Amino acid sequence: MFCYQCQETAGCKGCTVSGVCGKKPEVAAVQDLLVYVTKGLSAITTALRAQGKEVSPEINHLITLNLFTTITNANFDQESIEARIRATLDLRTQLAARLGDASALPQVALWDGAGNWAEKAATVGVLSTEDEDIRSLRELITYGLKGLSAYSKHANALLQDDGEVDAFLQKALAATLDDSLTVDQLVALALETGKYGVSGMALLDKANTGAYGNPEITKVNIGVGKNPGILVSGHDLRDLEMLLEQTQGTGVDVYTHSEMLPAHYYPAFKKYPNFVGNYGNAWWKQKEEFESFNGPILMTTNCIVPPKDSYKDRLYTTGAAGFPGCTHIPGEIGQQKDFSALIEHAKKCAPPTQLETGEIVGGFAHAQVLALADQVVEAVKSGAIKKFVVMAGCDGRAKSREYYTEFAKALPKDAVILTAGCAKYKYNKLPLGDIGGIPRVLDAGQCNDSYSLAVIALKLKEVFGLDDINDLPIVYNIAWYEQKAVIVLLALLYLGVKNIHLGPTLPAFLSPNVAKVLVENFGIAGIGTVEEDLALFFGEH
C-alpha cells in the first residue's frame, strides 16, 4: 500500500505497511480501486455532458459517496467498499452504452472489473504517477475533491444539489488521469477546485441553515444526565435530526461528540428535551470516551478510530462510514433511517460516566457574527480587538499539536480566535475570557463552517472599505488532518487569502516544487515554535 493523504502519514512520507489510522493494506487497495473506477465513471459522465446528455442526481450522489468513503477514518469495511466498486462498474457499463462512440474514452473508463482486483489495485494507486510534481498535484486535487464530496453529500442529504459543482467535480476527477495536462494546468485546476469548494460549502451552509435555522450563541452542557444515552459523532445533521425524532419519549438521551457539537447551535435542535449536551472531545480520544459513554455510538462520518473490543458492539455506522463487524444503519438520500436498534440497545445500557462538568459557548457562524457586527467593528476601531486569528481545521493525536493549546494560551489578550472544525478542542475549554462581552474563542461550527469565517472576513473587508482581504487584521494559523481541510485550504486560496500557516506539518503529498509554488504565490508556511510564531504574527507584543 501507499497512502499519504493525511497529516499523520507514517514518517511524514507515506504509510506503506499499514495505516497509522488503522487502515489495513487490503482496505487501502480497495479504496485505491474505488477512487480509480470513480475516475473512470467521471470520465464517462463528463463525456455525456459534453454530448448534451443529462446525468442524474443519483449518479452524482454515487460519485460523491464513493469519494467520501475513502476519506481518512471514514470507512474501514472492505466488503462495503467492494460493493461500491461493483455498483460503480455496473453503472459505468450502462452509461458507456448511452455514450455511443466510446473510442475517445481514456483507459480508466474502459476497465470492466475483469481480472484480479488486488493486482489491479497495485497498478492504479498514488505511485502509478511517476513524475512527483504531477503526482503531487493530482493528489492535491483528488483530496480536495474528496473533501468537496463530503460536504456535497451532507447538502444532498438535506435535498440540496448543485449540478454545476457535481459537473466540475467529475470533470476535475477525470482530469487527474489525463496525461496531457501540464504542471501549470494542474495548478490552475487545483485553484478552480477551491472555487467549487466555496460553492460546495455555500450549498451546505444554505442546506443546514435552511433546514435548521442560523446558528446562534449557545451554551452547551458538557456534563451528563441520568438516562442512558446515544452518542452521535461525525458531521451529518440530517442523521442527527432523524435520531432525535425517533428518541422522543423513549427515555433515551442524545449527546454529541467531536464534530457534531455545533448541532447544538442550531435553533431547530433546541426543541428536543433529550438533546442533553456534548460528551468528550475531538475524534482521537474516542477509545477512552466511547468506553466511558456506556451507550451506543452512531458514527455518521469520519473520524472512526478502530474500536476496542470492549465497546465494538456499541459502535454503529451510517452513510459513508463503515467498520467491519459494526452494525451499519442503511438509508439513501431522502429515505428515513431506522435507528430503533440503537434506541433498544441504549435502553439496556448504563447512563454515561461523567467526564467533566460545565459549559462551552459557540454558535458564531456568519449570521450571528454579522448580527454583532457593530460591536465587533467598534471593538476593532477602539483597539480593544487588535487581531483575529483563524485557528480552524482538524485536531489529531500527534503530540506536536499541543502547539495549538500553547499558542492559544499565549496569544495577546486583545486577540480573538475564529475557529471551526474539531481543531477547537485544543483550546475551547480554556478560560480565555472575553473582550467587552465578545468571547475570545468564536466557534463558527464544523470544519465546513470555515465558510462562515470567509463570509465574515469578506463582510469585514466591506465594512472597513478595504480592497484586499489580506489588509484585514486577520491571520491564519490552521491545523489540518484529513481531506476536508484540503478543500477548505483550496477555497481560502481561491478567495485570495495569503500567508496561511498550516500545521503541525505540511502535507507529505506536496512535492518540493509544488510546495514552492504555494509558498511563492500564496505565502503558505508551516508553523514554528509558539514564541517564533507569536513574534511573526504580532511583532513585539
The answer to whether 481 contacts ligand SF3 (rule: CB under 6 A) is: yes
Q: Which of 390, 422, 454, 487 binds ligand SF3 (CB under 6 A)?
A: 422
Residue 149 binding: pick among ligand SF4, ligand SF3, none (C-beta 5-8 Å cut-off by kind): none
Among ligand SF3, ligand SF4, none, the one that 21 touches (CB under a kind-dependent 5 to 8 A) is ligand SF4
Q: What is the spatial distance between Cα 46 and Cα 311, in angstroms, rounded to a whole number?
A: 44
Of 126 and 385, nearer to ligand SF4 (C-beta) is: 126
DSSP secondary structure letter of residue 428: T
Q: What residue 23 binds from ligand SF3, ligand SF4, none (CB within 5 to 8 A, per partner kind)? A: ligand SF4
Cell numbers for 278: 456534548
Q: Write each residue from 260 to 289 as x if it is in contact with ligand SF3 (CB under 6 A), else as -, in one continuous string.
A: -----------------------x------
Which is closer to ligand SF4, CB of 4 or CB of 290? 4
Binding of ligand SF3 at residue 259 (CB under 6 A)? yes
Smallest separation, CB 422 to ligand SF3 (Å): 3
Element (H, E) at 115: none
Verify binding: residue 390, ligand SF3, rule CB under 6 A.
Answer: no
Question: Measured between alpha carbons, how far is 444 from 361 in angstroms, rounded to an integer?
Answer: 10
**DSSP string of 334-396?**
TSPP--HHHHHHHHTSPPPPP---SEEEE---HHHHHHTHHHHHHHHHHTS--EEEE--B---
> What distance in Å separates the CA atoms of residue 370 and residue 135, rounded to the nearest whole number?
41
* 239 in contact with ligand SF3 (CB under 6 A): no
Q: Which of 73/209 has CB closer to ligand SF3?
A: 73
Instruction: Provide CB contacts within 8 A for 114, sequence distance 6+.
Output: none
Number of helices and strands (H, E) in the chain?
Answer: 19, 15
The residue (of 10 and 495) whose beta carbon lies closer to ligand SF4 is: 10
**Strand extents, DSSP E, 100-179:** none
Residue in the shown chain whose Cβ atom is closest to ligand SF4:
19
* Residue matched to cell numbers 467498499: 81
Q: How far is CA 366 from CA 28, 96, 419, 506, in A?
A: 38, 44, 12, 29
Residue 258 binds which entry of ligand SF4, ligand SF3, none, with Cβ cut-offs from 5 to 8 Å by kind?
ligand SF3
Which residues have C-beta within 8 Å of that of residue 97, sequence separation ≥ 6? none
Point out which residues bind ligand SF4 (CB under 6 A): 3-6, 8-9, 15, 19-21, 23, 72
Applying CB under 6 A, which of residues 482, 486, 492, 502 lies at the interface with ligand SF3? 482
Please report how close the Cβ of residue 132 comes to ligand SF3 at its closest, in angstroms: 26
Specify whether the backbone of 508 is left (phi greater than 0), alpha (psi in -120 to 50) or beta: alpha
| Smallest separation, CB 408 to ligand SF3 (Å) | 17
Strand 387-390 with 297-299, pairing: unpaired
Residue 19 contacts which entry, ligand SF4, ligand SF3, none (Cβ below 5-8 A, type-dependent): ligand SF4
Binding residues among 159-178 for ligand SF3 as defined by CB under 6 A: none
**Which residue in the block uniquely carries the three cell numbers 492504479?**
124
Nearer to ligand SF3, 175 or 485 (CB): 485
Shortest spacing between CB 432 and ligand SF3, in angstroms? 21
Where on the chain is the footprint of ligand SF3 (CB under 6 A)?
73, 235, 258-259, 283, 302-303, 394, 421-422, 446-447, 481-482, 484-485
